[in-house]
Every structure is written in structure tokens, then in C-alpha cells.
């Protein structure tokens, strides 16, 4: 077995990957909260944003962590189509779970179905991403640790969706996101502990793209998407805030007096108007011809 290093750059990749998972979870939870308070097309759009945020965050977490993965005796490269497919799978299965919660009739059933679907999707993304590895050797897995990583993924996904259904306060969402980030990271590193590699030395590099050629630029781009979308969500008003603005506008309009409620003219103004209509000057004694 070749020597495996899961943190070739020290704590840099584990901390960054955890941050990506937590940011994606926070953004996804906030979007789900917005979706549950909306109707029609707005709900659908918020759920799509939530699915893309959580899926992107999980995928970015995985491959940022993989930047620190090294195997003694062989270079590591990545199959580009399989790597992109893992990103698509992450978004689609997370979307299925989020939509199950967003449109489910029975909350408990929707939560269980959504958590199971999302958790299995997260695990599928992880192992599909591992299948994209190209190196000189054979990758093997410990079945017990693989099963444990899948259980962690399902539990983490169910907990995240439960938080989306039951937590609205921003600080509570932050706390739930930190827990979700820790759960996703735990799932990843549990899955990585299940990995063993039988290295077959070779003088030629393996096929595929290096991490710096492909994974790093894509992870930076998706990370930027997460932060920009998070800024958009943070700055956009919630349904409650829009309702408050609408009530404030109605209050401003009702404070303006209606035409029939205009104050009556003064007695002097009424006398002036009567004299003007009679063809007399408004002030001074009347003159005789």
C-alpha cells in the first residue's frame, strides 16, 4: 500500500474545505427559508438557488480537500468529464431533496425522503469524484468505513433540511450551517480513511488533468459564485420585510387627507370670495356713481 497524505498542505485545505461546506449550507438554508415563505415561481427559484448553493458548497468542499490529498510513489490527476458529472450529480440530488421539502405535503415524510435522497446524493458525489482519480495503482476501499460515511451523509442532510424547516433566525441558521459543515467534512474524511492505494510505479504521468490545471480554477470559480450569491441573498429583502414596506406605504397614503377632508376656508376668505363674485372689491368702502 502506498503512503496516503490527506493534508499535504497542513491545515490549509481542511479549514478551507470546511469553510466552503459551511458557506454553502448557510446559503442553502437561507434560500430554503425564503422559499417556504414564498409562492409560485418565486418559491421554485429560491429552491433552485438553494440546491445549487448546497450542491456547489459540498462539491467545492470535496475537491478543495482533495487538493491536499497525495499518494506516495504516484502523481494524481483527474478525469475531467467524471469530475464535472460529480458536480452535476451533487446539484441534482440535492435539488431533489430540497424540492421534496419545499413542496411535500406531509412534513415528516418529506423530511425523511429529502434527507435520504440528499444524503445518498452527497455520498454518490464523493465516490464519483473519487472514481475520477487517475493514478498509477489500484484504489481499494474499506466497506465498513464506506457504509459509515454514507450514514453520516444521510444524517447530515436530514439535519440540514430539518433546520431549513424549523429555523428562521439568522444566528440559528449560522449555527446550523457550522454543524452541517462539520458533518459534511466528517463524511468526507471518513470516506477518505476508507481508501487504500496499491501503487504500481511508472515513469510516465497518468492520464487526465492536474489539480492546478482543472480543480483549482473550478473550485475558485464556484467559491466566488457562493460568496456573490450569499451577498445577493443577504441584501435582498425577505417576504416579511417586503410586507412591512408595503404596509408602511399604505400608512403614508392614508395619512394624506382626502379631498373631502380638506380644511374649510376661513371666514375672511369666504367673505372675499362672496364680494368678488358680486363684482365688488375685496376691501375698502363701497363707492356710489
How do residues 155-174 score in pLDDT, each as one tens digit? 988 887 787 777 777 777 78
**What whole-number distance in Å separates Cα of residue 101 and Cα of residue 167?**
14
Is the pLDDT score of 83 beyond 60?
Answer: yes
Is the pLDDT score of 208 beyond 60?
Answer: yes
Is the pLDDT score of 230 beyond 80?
Answer: no
Count of alpha carbons within 13 angstroms of residue 203, beta-carbon side: 0
Higher-confidence residue of 256 and 200: namely 200
pLDDT of 259 reads 53
**What whole-number distance in Å separates Cα of residue 9 and Cα of residue 67?**
8
Is the pLDDT score of 287 beyond 60?
Answer: no
Is the pLDDT score of 90 beyond 50?
Answer: yes
What does pTM read for this prediction?
A: 0.74
pLDDT in tens, 111-125: 888 888 888 888 888
Name residues whose C-beta falls within 8 Å of residue 74's C-beta, 6 or more positions apart in sequence: 2, 135, 136, 137, 197, 199, 200, 201, 202, 206
pLDDT of 235 reads 60
Residue 200, phi then psi, degrees to nearest 5: -115, 100
Neighbours of 74 (CB within 10 A): 19
Neighbours of 113 (CB within 10 A): 18
Residue 141, phi then psi, degrees to nearest 5: -130, 145
Is the pLDDT score of 243 beyond 70?
Answer: no
97's enclosing H/E stretch is helix 80-103
Amino acid at each position: 500500500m502506498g503512503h496516503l497524505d490527506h493534508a499535504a498542505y497542513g491545515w490549509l485545505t481542511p479549514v478551507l474545505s470546511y469553510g466552503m461546506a459551511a458557506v454553502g449550507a448557510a446559503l442553502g438554508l437561507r434560500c430554503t427559508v425564503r422559499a417556504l415563505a414564498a409562492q409560485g415561481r418565486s418559491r421554485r427559484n429560491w429552491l433552485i438557488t438553494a440546491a445549487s448553493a448546497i450542491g456547489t458548497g459540498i462539491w467545492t468542499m470535496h475537491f478543495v480537500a482533495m487538493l491536499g490529498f497525495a499518494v506516495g510513489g504516484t502523481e494524481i490527476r483527474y478525469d475531467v468529464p467524471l469530475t464535472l458529472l460529480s458536480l452535476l450529480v451533487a446539484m441534482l440530488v440535492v435539488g431533489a431533496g430540497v424540492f421534496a421539502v419545499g413542496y411535500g405535503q406531509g412534513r415528516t415524510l418529506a423530511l425523511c425522503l429529502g434527507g435520504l435522497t440528499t444524503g445518498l446524493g452527497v455520498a454518490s458525489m464523493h465516490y464519483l469524484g473519487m472514481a475520477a482519480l487517475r493514478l498509477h495503482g489500484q484504489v481499494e476501499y474499506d466497506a465498513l468505513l464506506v457504509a459509515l460515511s454514507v450514514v453520516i451523509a444521510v444524517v447530515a442532510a436530514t439535519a440540514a433540511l430539518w433546520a431549513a424547516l424549523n429555523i428562521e433566525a439568522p444566528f440559528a441558521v449560522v449555527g446550523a450551517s457550522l454543524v452541517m459543515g462539520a458533518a459534511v467534512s466528517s463524511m468526507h474524511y471518513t470516506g477518505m480513511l476508507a481508501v487504500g492505494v496499491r501503487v504500481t510505479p511508472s515513469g510516465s504521468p497518468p492520464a487526465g488533468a492536474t489539480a492546478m490545471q482543472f480543480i483549482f480554477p473550478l473550485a475558485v470559480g464556484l467559491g466566488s459564485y457562493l460568496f456573490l450569491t450569499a451577498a445577493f441573498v443577504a441584501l435582498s429583502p425577505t417576504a416579511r420585510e417586503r410586507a412591512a414596506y408595503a404596509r408602511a406605504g399604505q400608512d403614508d397614503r392614508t395619512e394624506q387627507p382626502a379631498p373631502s377632508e380638506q380644511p374649510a376656508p376661513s371666514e375672511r376668505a369666504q367673505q372675499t370670495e362672496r364680494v368678488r363674485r358680486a363684482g365688488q372689491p375685496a376691501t375698502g368702502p363701497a363707492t356710489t356713481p
